[in-house]
Structure 1
């Protein structure tokens, strides 16, 4: 259900007033469209890293070098995810 013209104008006035009164808060609550997908991507990378870590640990019994390479890739992915989350939180 769309807003009427009067409702949309009033909402825009409230948004402008908020931006003037408290610009940092207004920036934090503004939907930039990028914050959620970055956090979701970081979570997905972390989970894939965890799966790679566990897989690598299991494979070290069969082939030590191959297992350790996969463990390293998993740890790198998990570290990347943590860095992404920390950078995103710093932007807020």
Structure 2
């Protein structure tokens, strides 16, 4: 998982980020999950590890690397359940 903070006035563009990741990172190094932090305080690492990628535990926007759709797709509770059940491969 990568945690990022957007600069003021910028919006997250999942397609642009996917293209950048695809162009510059080998497949094994691509972040499978992105957490968009909405504030500038540093995320405490142990807290992030405890929360994992469960959208029921995290209030920040979460996305997962969706290679089928070639973008980062919002990680909703339903999508999370599908990933955990093995219906969506990451």
TM-score, normalization by structure 2: 0.22
Larger Rg: 1
The structure whose residues are more often strand, as a share, is 2
Higher relative contact order (CA 8 A, sep 6+): 2
